């Protein structure tokens, strides 16, 4: 039985229970399991009427919504291939993907975006608005979804990447079903064996692999999912829903931390002192340099001051899950201090989203957890993390050469530099293709240095080290700080660095610059090659000035 059949079977149980709730400013909109099942049948019938068959490709372009979820599941359940596309992506890139996919159908939500895409596409796909599939006039006679061979492709997810054209990652029904078994198991472990129903909040776009696996995992578990419909009101929505846990990217956790600390500064002086004392004692506790009385004092502060902070974030919150990008260890430690563990997840679209997940008893800061059950991992001689197992993708669509380049002897080459400790926990050090080699010949992995640099001042938004092939490396920084402040931070950074890692120059741009100039991927990762090209002349000038 395919994973979609498992989900549909669960929808038939407890039909009056809510399964999806859209969080809206003027009151939430909920959908029952029965409604979901009926609408899935409705979409299926319309697709059949259009002669959609197994392995046909269907693009789905739109924001997270109940209709998106139902449509996506219906496509996959009938054996067709769902190709979700990011609705905020450049229309030219979306057109490029559609031309490569050659879908029999493209389902869209926004007319203006569709018109923009049509300006650039060469392939004449048929476009249909999402509302067409949910008309009450559509037939809803109950019909069983067909049996699916688990070797069929379930979905094709396009990775934006940090350079080059996006690639279509093909994931099979078998890989997805395997992954859902693993994610359900790890969530039960994170909840210390509890299998009770959870309240879930979700805001990350479903067109990304990790977000989609979280969605399907919760549908598989039968949990009600509360969908954010307006990313501008996340803080209020999270407080309103008060979930047990939710999936995050590091950026949101940083904002929560900064927001809390900013509010603390407006509290009475005694409260500020107690909070600062909590941080001091927590650091001593982490360093295993705390006396018995100090430990008692800290746990008293946690029960009072820190618990009140935790409850402001969520009274039901058991833990947070974080993936997509490196989480700063100080942020993870801060949340643990107030009583909210943060469990990291690591994976790629090509690994059906996941390779490792934190386990409560094995959390180690700066590490991304231990491998999920049923897979193999190892580090190659050149330090690259390799993995093998049923989670590995089928290949890149229309790109056998790239597929053969990353899958060799059954091992998928992640492109990440990693190390594994004695407890089998994995630490990601950086990307192999991000290694900077200045003219001195030294190999420099930029990510750890950038992480350290950003930790020196909370006003730093992004930091990108450049200087490949140059006599000096430098750093491009965005944030809310002055040039003088940046110079001081560079000076502090350089104090204990070996000569080849010292920064010879810096360039400052305003907060939001990287995002506004499309220098970040959809997952908010640095597009290093684009950044190097954009700042090429400024870097050359800086090198000339510092020669």
pLDDT at 164 over 80: no
Last residue of a domain, one of 414, 431, 448: 431
Q: What is the CATH number of the domain that holds 300?
A: 3.40.50.12780
Handedness of CA 81, 87, 88, 89 (dihedral sign): positive
Counted domains in the chain: 3
Rounded to whole angstroms, the Cα distance separating 234 from 253 reads 12
pLDDT at 162 over 60: no
pLDDT at residue 138, rounded to an integer:
61
Q: Is residue 234 part of a domain?
A: no
pLDDT at 161 over 60: no
Q: List pLDDT tens digits, range 259-313.
A: 999 999 999 999 999 999 999 999 999 999 999 999 999 999 999 999 999 999 9
pLDDT at residue 19, rounded to an integer:
97
Q: Is residue 246 part of a domain?
A: no
- Residues 336, 402: one domain? yes
> How does DSSP assign 218-274, residue by residue?
HHHHT-EEEEES-GGGHHHHHHHH--SEEEE-HHHHHHHHHHHHHHHTTS-HHHHHH
Q: Which two tokens stand for residue 137?
A: 């006039």
- Residues 397, 260: one domain? yes
> What is the pLDDT averaged over residues 190-195?
84
Q: Is residue 184 part of a domain?
A: no
Handedness of CA 157, 161, 163, 169 (dihedral sign): negative
- Residues 376, 268: one domain? yes
Q: Is residue 185 part of a domain?
A: no
pLDDT > 70 in the chain, percent: 98
pLDDT at 250 over 90: no
How far are the Cα atoms of 159, 395, 398 from residue 401, in angstroms, in the given order? 17, 10, 9
Rounded to whole angstroms, the Cα distance separating 250 from 247 reads 10
Last residue of a domain, one of 179, 209, 239: 209
Residue 315 phi, psi (nearest 5): -75, -25
Residue pair 167/396 in contact by the 8 Å Cβ criterion:
yes
- Residues 119, 139: one domain? yes
Instruction: Decide which of 176 and 139 is more confident.
Output: 176
Q: What is the CATH number of the domain that holds 494?
A: 3.30.300.30
Rounded to whole angstroms, the Cα distance separating 499 from 519 reads 29
CA nearest neighbour of 59 among 111, 20, 98, 18: 98
Q: List pLDDT tens digits, range 335-357.
A: 999 999 999 999 999 999 999 99
pLDDT at 36 over 70: yes
pLDDT at 517 over 60: yes
pLDDT at residue 117, rounded to an integer:
96
- Residues 411, 444: one domain? no
Q: Which two tokens stand for residue 494?
A: 């350089």
pLDDT at residue 196, rounded to an integer:
84
> What is the pLDDT averaged over residues 477-490?
96
- pLDDT-wise least confident of 26-35, 146-155, 323-332, 381-390: 323-332
464 beta partners: 476
Domain residue limits at 517? 435-545
Last residue of a domain, one of 416, 431, 446: 431
pLDDT at residue 50, rounded to an integer:
93
- Residues 522, 413: one domain? no
pLDDT at residue 95, rounded to an integer:
96
pLDDT at residue 251, rounded to an integer:
80
Reduce the DSSP state of residue 147 to 3 states and report it: coil
83 beta partners: 59
Residue pair 141/95 in contact by the 8 Å Cβ criterion:
no
Q: What is the mean pLDDT of the chain?
A: 93
Q: Is residue 120 part of a domain?
A: yes
- Residues 259, 136: one domain? no
- Residues 298, 445: one domain? no
Q: What is the CATH number of the domain that holds 127?
A: 3.40.50.980
pLDDT at residue 325, rounded to an integer:
78
> What is the pLDDT averaged over residues 503-525?
90
pLDDT at residue 332, rounded to an integer:
95
Q: Which two tokens stand for residue 165?
A: 């054209």
- Residues 276, 145: one domain? no
CA nearest neighbour of 458 among 184, 238, 265: 265
pLDDT at residue 421, rounded to an integer:
96
Q: Is residue 83 part of a domain?
A: yes
Q: Is residue 309 part of a domain?
A: yes
Instruction: Decide which of 100 and 470 is more confident.
Output: 100
Q: List pLDDT tens digits, range 50-101.
A: 999 999 999 999 999 999 999 999 999 999 999 999 998 889 989 999 999 9
- Residues 401, 307: one domain? yes
pLDDT at 524 over 90: no
Instruction: Decide which of 112 and 164 is more confident.
Output: 112
Helix, strand, coil tally for the chain in percent (to 5): 40, 20, 35
385 beta partners: 379
pLDDT band at 160 (very low <50, low <70, confident <90, very high): low
> What is the pLDDT averaged over residues 303-324?
94
- Residues 451, 524: one domain? yes
pLDDT at residue 165, rounded to an integer:
78
pLDDT > 90 in the chain, percent: 78
- Residues 332, 478: one domain? no
pLDDT band at 230 (very low <50, low <70, confident <90, very high): confident
Q: Is residue 236 part of a domain?
A: no
């Amino acid at each position: 039985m395919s994973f979609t059949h498992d989900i549909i079977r669960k929808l038939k149980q407890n039909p009056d229970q809510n399964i999806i709730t859209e969080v809206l400013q003027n009151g939430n909109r909920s959908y029952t399991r029965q409604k979901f099942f009926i609408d899935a049948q409705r979409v299926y019938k319309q697709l059949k009427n259009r002669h959609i068959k197994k392995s046909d490709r269907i693009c789905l372009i739109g924001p997270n919504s109940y209709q998106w979820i139902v449509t996506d599941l219906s496509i996959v359940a009938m054996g067709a291939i769902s190709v979700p596309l990011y609705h905020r992506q450049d229309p030219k890139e979306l057109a490029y993907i559609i031309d490569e996919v050659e879908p029999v159908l493209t389902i869209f939500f926004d007319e203006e975006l569709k018109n923009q895409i049509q300006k650039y596409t060469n392939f004449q796909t048929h476009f249909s608005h999402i509302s067409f599939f949910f008309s009450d006039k559509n037939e809803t006679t109950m019909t069983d979804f067909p049996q699916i061979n688990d070797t069929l492709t379930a979905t094709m997810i396009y990775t934006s990447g940090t350079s080059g054209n996006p690639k279509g990652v093909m994931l099979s029904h078998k890989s997805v079903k395997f992954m859902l078994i693993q994610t359900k198991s790890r969530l039960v472990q994170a909840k210390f064996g509890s299998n009770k129903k959870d309240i879930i909040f979700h805001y990350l776009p479903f067109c990304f692999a990790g977000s989609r696996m979280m969605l399907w995992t919760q549908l598989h578990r039968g949990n009600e999912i509360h969908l954010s419909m307006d990313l501008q009101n996340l803080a209020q929505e999270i407080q309103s829903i008060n979930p047990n846990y939710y999936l995050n990217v590091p950026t949101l956790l940083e904002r929560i931390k900064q927001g809390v600390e900013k509010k603390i500064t407006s509290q009475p002086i005694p409260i500020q002192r107690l909070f600062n004392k909590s941080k001091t004692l927590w650091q001593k506790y982490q360093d295993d340099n705390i006396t018995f009385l100090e430990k008692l004092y800290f746990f008293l502060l946690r029960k009072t001051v820190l618990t009140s902070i935790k409850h402001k974030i969520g009274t039901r919150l058991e833990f947070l899950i974080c993936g997509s990008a490196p989480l700063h260890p100080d942020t993870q430690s801060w949340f643990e201090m107030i009583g909210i563990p943060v469990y990291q997840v690591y994976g790629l679209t090509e690994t059906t989203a996941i390779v490792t997940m934190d386990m409560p008893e094995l959390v180690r800061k700066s590490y991304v957890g231990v491998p999920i059950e049923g897979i193999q991992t190892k580090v190659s001689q050149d330090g690259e993390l390799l993995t093998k197992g049923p989670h590995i993708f089928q290949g890149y669509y229309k790109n056998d050469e790239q597929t053969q380049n990353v899958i060799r002897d059954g091992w998928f080459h992640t492109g990440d530099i990693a190390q594994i400790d004695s407890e089998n926990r994995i630490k990601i050090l950086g990307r192999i293709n991000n290694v900077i080699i200045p003219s001195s010949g030294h190999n420099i992995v930029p990510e750890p240095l950038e992480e350290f640099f950003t930790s020196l001042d909370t006003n730093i938004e992004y930091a990108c080290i450049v200087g490949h092939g140059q006599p000096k490396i430098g750093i491009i920084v965005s944030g809310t700080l002055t040039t003088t402040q940046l110079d001081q931070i560079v000076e502090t950074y350089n104090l204990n660095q070996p000569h080849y890692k010292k920064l010879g120059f810096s360039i400052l741009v305003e907060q939001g610059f990287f995002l506004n100039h499309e220098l970040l991927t959809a997952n908010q990762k640095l597009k290093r090659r684009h950044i190097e090209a954009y700042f090429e002349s400024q870097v050359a000038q800086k090198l000339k000035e510092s020669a």
